[in-house]
Amino acid sequence: MKDNNSVPSKGIFSKTDNFLNLSEVARDFPFTNDLLIDSEEHFYSLLNEINAETQSIPMFLKDNGGHIHIIAALNKSVKIEQGNTRYILVKNCIKRHTRFKLRKEEFYMKQKIRTSLAYTKNLFVTGALTQTSRNVEVEICRYVPKEEGKTIIEFGMGHGNITREILNNMAPNSKLYAFDVKKSFCDYVRKTISDNRLIIINDGAENLKKHIKGDVDAVIASIPFSFFSKEKGLGIIQDAHDVLTNDSYYSQVLYTKFNFKKFQQIFDKCYMKSFKGTITEYVYHCKKIKG
């Protein structure tokens, strides 16, 4: 970029670019979103929409080979055509009602970034500094029943990342009762997830039987057993076992394997899977076989 001949005449990194706006956007929204494109017409249409947003800045074009091109410095050798998919990397604030349609994976990443601070502030409620990984979201929903008319319980709804995955896996006329002790988390999910199958309960898992009177076909949980007394933890597990139908599962994610024995005391069959990352995540799957 030191070569004046390579400096774009306009747009990002040009002499006329608004570096103050770029700095402010980078400070307030320190992440990048990839927008999938499939044609030249689509590319320029997206550019027009992005440029209309003061807090959205189109920065680079990434090709199938992983090479990055500065958008303002594009030349004719960079082809944008169907079958040669590219991504626009955009530094911006993604609003709830954004006009850009992001892929599911991008949506999940955006949610994680947005809620990390909330989890950190409520560490002794969530037991985590951030939301669970995408691999865990999928794994913990392994035994969500897909049959019609099922009842599913979630303990520790948080900002709803696992909640969304449960809803994606369950039948149209099943019900999900999602518990969380934090009112702010409940309010957040009410605003961000619109699904008439979801019933949000602002209460703790220890009060399950106060709210649920019938049979339950699956329990999905991410509550912090390490912060519970032994009596409270065993009580929650026992209550969940009591309401579950035979051959149904209680699935729990934790950052330690040391609570596994508590589940083995109550459930007939248990196994554990681990997912290594910055922090190792453990998913317990516990099956009720007899009443």
Q: Are residues 71 and 131 in the same domain?
A: no
Residue 257 and residue 167 share a domain: yes
Q: What is the pLDDT of residue 255?
A: 86
Q: In what order do the strands lie in the sheet with 32-37?
A: 32-37, 86-92, 56-62, 68-70
Question: 107 in helix, strand or coil?
Answer: helix
Strand positions, DSSP E, 65-106: 68-70, 86-92
Q: Do 112 and 88 reside in the same domain of the chain?
A: no
Please give the tally of structural domains in the chain.
2
Co-location of 206 and 158 in the same domain:
yes
Q: Are 53 and 25 in contact (CB under 8 A)?
A: no
For the cut 70, the answer to whether the pLDDT of residue 186 exceeds it is yes
Q: Which residues pair with 269 in a beta bridge?
A: 287
Confidence of residue 227 (pLDDT cuts 50, 70, 90): confident
The confidence band for 158, taking pLDDT boundaries of 50, 70 and 90, is confident
Q: How confident is the model at residue 125 (pLDDT cuts 50, 70, 90)?
A: very low
Residues whose CB falls within 8 Å of the CB of residue 185, separated by 6 or more in sequence, listed in order = 118, 122, 157, 158, 159
Region 101-113: mean pLDDT is 47
Task: Determine the Cα–Cα distance for residues 92 and 54; give it in Å rounded to an integer.
Answer: 9
Q: What is the pLDDT, as a whole number, of residue 277?
A: 78
Classified as helix, coil or strand, 15 is: coil
Residue 44 structure tokens: 């320029």
Quote the percentage of the chain above a pLDDT of 70. Answer: 56
Where does the pLDDT of residue 224 fall: very low under 50, low under 70, confident under 90, or very high at 90 and above? confident
Is 215 contained in some domain?
yes
Token duo for residue 123: 């560490």
pLDDT of residue 116: 46
Q: What is the pLDDT of residue 117?
A: 44
Do 216 and 191 belong together in one domain?
Answer: yes
Final residue of a domain: which of 52, 74, 96?
A: 96
Averaged pLDDT, 85-94: 46
pLDDT digits (tens, 9 = 90+) for 56-70: 666 666 666 666 666
Q: Is the confidence at residue 228, as pLDDT, over 50?
A: yes
Residue-range definition of the domain harbouring residue 22: 4-96
Q: Specify the pLDDT at position 199.
A: 98
Asked if residue 102 belongs to a domain, the reply is: no
Together in a domain, 275 and 249: yes
Residue whose token pair is 């896996």: 169
pLDDT in the model for residue 2:
46
Q: How far apart are CA 201 and CA 181, in angstroms?
A: 8
User: 52 in a domain, yes or no?
Assistant: yes
Question: In the structure, what pLDDT confidence band is assigned to residue 78 with cuts at 50, 70 and 90?
Answer: low
What is d(CA 124, CA 94) in angstroms, rounded to the nearest whole number?
29
111 within domain boundaries: yes
- In a domain? residue 101: no
Q: In whole angstroms, how far apart are CA 19 and each of 11, 35, 70, 91, 241?
A: 10, 23, 15, 13, 59
Same domain, 57 and 194: no
Shared domain for 78 and 128, answered yes or no, is no
Same domain? 248 vs 113 = yes
33 plus 132 within the same structural domain? no
Which CATH number belongs to the domain containing residue 216 in this structure? 3.40.50.150
Residue scoring higher pLDDT (89 or 193): 193
253 and 167 share one domain: yes
Whether residue 162 sits in one domain with residue 41? no
